[in-house]
Amino acid sequence: MRPPNSPPVSPFHSPGRPHVDEDVPPSFPLPPPQITDFEPPDFYYSSMNDNPLPLSFSNLVAYAGPETDHGVQPGDDDGDSGPNVDVDHDMLDVDLEEGGASLNPTMDHPSDHDDIAPYADDDDSLFVHQDLPQTPVAHSPHFISSFEPPSLINTPLGLLEEVPQPQLPEIQEPEDDIDPATTGLHPMALSNANPMSLGPENPHIIQFLELWEWQSHTDMQLRTAEPIPPLPQIRRLARDCPRRVEYEQLRGDEYDFQGINWRDLGVMRNAARRRRMATFHNYVNRPNSDSWHNSSTDRLLRPSENYFRYKSMDIRRDVRLLHFQLRNILGVASRTRVFYPSFTTIREHDPTTGLDKAAMRFDNHLDAHTSTLTATEDILIAGGFYGAYRYRRLDSPDLEAHQGMLTDHISGITNHVQLNSTRHSSTPLAAFASNDYGFRVVDLATNKVTSEIMYDFAMNCSALSPDMRLRAMVGDHQNVLITDAETGEVLQELEGHRDFGFACDWAPDGWTVATGNQDRSIRIWDARKWKNSKGESTSVAIVRTEMAGARSLRFSPLGSGKRILVAAEEADFVNLIDAQTFNTRQTVDIFGEIGGVAFADGGNDLITLCSDLSRGGIMRLERCDAGAEDTFSYAPRKYREPGGWWRTPGYDWMQSPEQIVATPKSQRTLTHKRRQSAMLESWTF
C-alpha cells in the first residue's frame, strides 16, 4: 500500500511511448520580478508547469444536495429504504442477436479512434495506442502541492501592495457541522479519515469536466483543437442526476450508461475519453514501471468480443472509497443482494429493483472506515482501517454483527478478505491480508484467529485454489507468492511484474492463475508449470490494461458459459478477457473510480461498483451467450488446434457440458441451461 512519503505518480498516460528511466521531477523556479512600470497582472505561473493561471476564475464546486444524494436515505440508521427510493422498475429483455447495448465504442465508431494503431492479422501481434499529444496541463491546487507567490513586489517605486490571489477550481470545504449522511458529500471531500488513508488522486467526472474547461483558458491549442464543455452545462450536470438508467433509455451521446448527455455539454463522448486518458495519472510505487517499450512483452488485446450487455445502472452518491489502492469493497451474495460501504453503514442494494437498506451498522465513525468487504450467500464480512473486522449472517432477521480485532499495529489496515471453508469441514473461514505484513485466518464459527503468519512485506490480495491446498498472494513487492494454504509456507516465488500487486484470482479449472499489478500488466500463470527448465518464471500470457493498473480480477464461475477473466482497472475500464486464448476482450467504458467487480446469479450477471461522487453507483451487465455451449462440437479431434501447450478445449472450464454439470460446484444443470436459452429465444425473437 501507499507509504506516508509516497513516490511520484507516473507521467501523463501515453501507452505507446517508452519513457526515460529516471525519476527527476521537473523544476520550474519562479524568476525574481523585474518590473519597472507596474500593471496589475492577469495571471501568475504555477509551480507545476509554465502555463499561466487566470486570476479571475470562479470557484467550481461539485454539488450534491439532500435531494440528489442517491443512496443516503433519511432512514439510514433505521435500515429503511427511504421515501426517495424507486420501488418499481420494469425490466426490458433485449434481442440476443443485437447483443444488447454496445459496450465497446471502438467497435461502433472506428473513425473516431484514429489514435489507435491498426490491428495486425496475427493474433499474437501487438496492439498499442499511438502517442497521445502531450501538452502541459494546469492543475488545480487541490491536486498539487501548495504554492505561495510573493505577496510584496520590490520595484523602483518601493514595495507594492499584495497581489490578489486567484480563485482556482477546488472542492469546497464544508462547515464542520455538515453531516455527510444527509448532504451526500463524498467523505474525501470533507476530510481524510485516516492519515494513512488516501482517496483517489484523479478527479471525479465533474471535477474532470471543470478542469477541462478551466485549462482551456490557458491553453490555446486545447481551446482550438476541439469543443470545450461550458461551465453552466457542467454545473447543471452536477445538479441534475437520474436515479436509474436502464437499457431502453440509452441514446448514445445523448444519454449514456451514467445518464450523461454529452451533446448538451457540447462535446462528444469519445473526445472526453481521449482527454481523460491524456490527463489520467496511474499511481506506481516503482517509477516508470508502467511505461511501455518496444521490447515489452505486454499485449493490448483486440476489443472485438461481446460477452455481456448492459442491463441497468443505479446511481448512488454515497459509495465510500477511502483508499484508492484497495478496490475490494463490493460484496455480492446473489443477484438481488449487493453490498457496499456507505458513510455510517454498509448498504444492501437490489440491482433488479433499485431498493436500498442498511445491512450492517457501526458503533462509531471510526469503525465505519471500511477498507475491504466481501459476501457469500450466508455471510457478510468487512475489514477496517484499524485492524478490526465485523461480520454477520445474512439469514438473520436483525443486523446484529460479531466483531473482532486482528492487530493493534499502527499500520494494521485490512487490505483484503476472502471467505472459504476448510478441506476437512464446512466451517466458514475468513482469510485476512493486513498491512502490518500479517496474514491471518479467522474461524467464523468461534470468532477466533486460528492462524497468523508474518511475511517480509504487506499482502494486498490472496486467492485460494479450488482444491483449497494452495494460495496465490500479491502485495508490496513485484513478485507473486504461491504458498501452502494451511501452513503459509512459500512454495514458489514468481518473477515478471515490475511493481506492487493488488489483484489476483484462481480459475475454477484448478491451474490458471491471474495476477494484476500497478505496472499495467496482467500475468497469466499455469500451476502445472510455474517455471521452465532453467528455473525462470513462465507466464503463459501477459495482457496490458487500457489506462491504469488492474485492481480487481475475477474469473467466471464454473458452469456459467464462456470462460472469462474480468479485470477492473483503477478507473473507467472493465475488461472482459477471453480466458481460453487471452487474445481478445470486451471493454466496458464508464467514467469514475471502480470499487470492485463480482459475478452474480451463477455468472449470468456481472456487478460493477463505481465510486464516482456525481455519477457513481452499481452497474449490472447480463450475459448474452446463454446456451451457446450447445453450438460447439466436443468430439475428439484428430489434429491439435494451434496455440500454446496450456490451452485446453471446451467452451466452459470443462471440456464438455456433461462434465460441467457433473462437477459438485457447478451452478446449474444442463437441462436448466438449455431451458433458459430456449426461454430467452422465445422472449426476444
Alpha carbon of residue 104 to chain centroid: 17
Between residues 140 and 349, the one the model is more confident about: 349
Pairwise CA distance, residues 551 & 594, whole Å = 9
Is 625's pLDDT higher than 80?
no
Residue 136 within a domain? yes
- Sign of the alpha-carbon torsion through 267, 273, 275, 281: positive
Angstrom distance (rounded) from CA 80 to CA 279: 41
Sheet hosting strand 402-405, strand order edge to edge: 370-375, 379-384, 388-393, 402-405
Write out pLDDT tens, residues 311-352. 999 999 899 998 888 999 999 999 999 999 998 899 999 999
**pLDDT computed for residue 297 by the predictor:** 86
The one-letter code for the residue type at 1 is M
Assigned domain for 519 exists: no
In a domain, 142, yes or no: yes
Of 260, 133, 263, the C-alpha closest to 208 is 260
Angle (CA) 92 94 95, round 5°: 160
517 or 173, greater pLDDT: 517
Residue of 77 and 192 predicted with greater confidence: 77
- Tell me 197's DSSP state: -
User: What is the pLDDT averaged over residues 210-231?
Assistant: 89
DSSP state of 110: G
Average pLDDT over residues 464-483: 95
Mean pLDDT across the chain: 74
Could you give the maximum distance between any two Cα atoms of the chain, in Å?
Answer: 94
pLDDT (0 to 100) of residue 657: 62
Residue 644, pLDDT above cutoff 50: yes
Pick 624 or 171 by higher pLDDT: 624
Residue 95 has pLDDT above 50, yes or no: no
The model's pTM is: 0.73
Q: How many Å apart are CA 431 and CA 381, to the nearest integer?
A: 11
145 within some domain: yes
CA distance 418 to 143: 34
Q: What is the pLDDT of residues 551-567, one digit of tens each?
A: 999 999 988 888 999 99
Q: What is the pLDDT of residue 558?
A: 87
293 — pLDDT class (breaks 50, 70, 90)? confident
Q: 302-320 burial string, b = 16+ CB within 10 Å, else e? A: bbebbbbbbbbbbbbbbbb
User: What amino acid is encoded at 654 in this protein?
Assistant: M
pLDDT digits (tens, 9 = 90+) for 422-432: 888 888 999 99
362-393 pLDDT, tens digit per residue, is: 988 888 899 999 999 999 999 999 999 999 99
Q: Which domain does 175 fall in, by range?
A: 43-62+132-279
Mean per-residue pLDDT for 94-120? 40
Give CA separation, 52 vs 45, 342, 584, 638, in Å: 5, 40, 44, 69
pLDDT above 90 (res 130): no
The mean-pLDDT minimum among 161-170, 303-312, 652-661 falls in: 161-170
Predicted local distance difference test score (pLDDT) of residue 170:
41
| Strand 302-303 relative to strand 584-600, pairing | parallel
pLDDT of residue 675 exceeding 90, the answer is: no
Q: Does residue 626 belong to any structural domain of this protein?
A: no
Per DSSP, what are the bridge partners of residue 428?
421
- The structural domain count of the chain equals 1
Say which amino acid occupies 644: G
Q: Which three cell numbers stand for residue 12?
A: 501523463
pLDDT band per the 50, 70, 90 thresholds, residue 224: confident
**Rounded to 5°, angle at Cα 570 from 564 and 576:** 15
| Least reliable range by pLDDT among 98-102, 489-493, 576-580 | 98-102
Q: What is the pLDDT of residues 391-421, one digit of tens each?
A: 999 998 888 899 999 999 998 999 999 999 8
Predicted local distance difference test score (pLDDT) of residue 422 = 83
pLDDT score for 671: 58
Mean pLDDT computed over 283-295: 88
Domain presence at residue 159:
yes
Q: Residue 646 — very low, low, confident or very high, per pLDDT cuts 50/70/90? A: low
Per-residue confidence (pLDDT) for residue 364, from 0 to 100 = 83
> Span 587-594, mean pLDDT?
94
Half-sphere exposure for 434 (CA within 13 Å, toward CB):
28
Which of residues 540 and 147 earns the better pLDDT score?
540
pLDDT of residue 49: 37
Within a domain: 154: yes
Query: Is the pLDDT at 188 greater than 70, yes or no?
Result: no
Q: Tell me, what's the pLDDT at 628?
A: 55
Is the residue at 209 inside a domain?
yes
Look up residue 84 and give its amino acid. Answer: N
Q: What pLDDT, on a 0 to 100 scale, did the predictor assign at position 76?
A: 45
Other beta carbons less than 10 A from residue 571's beta carbon = 24
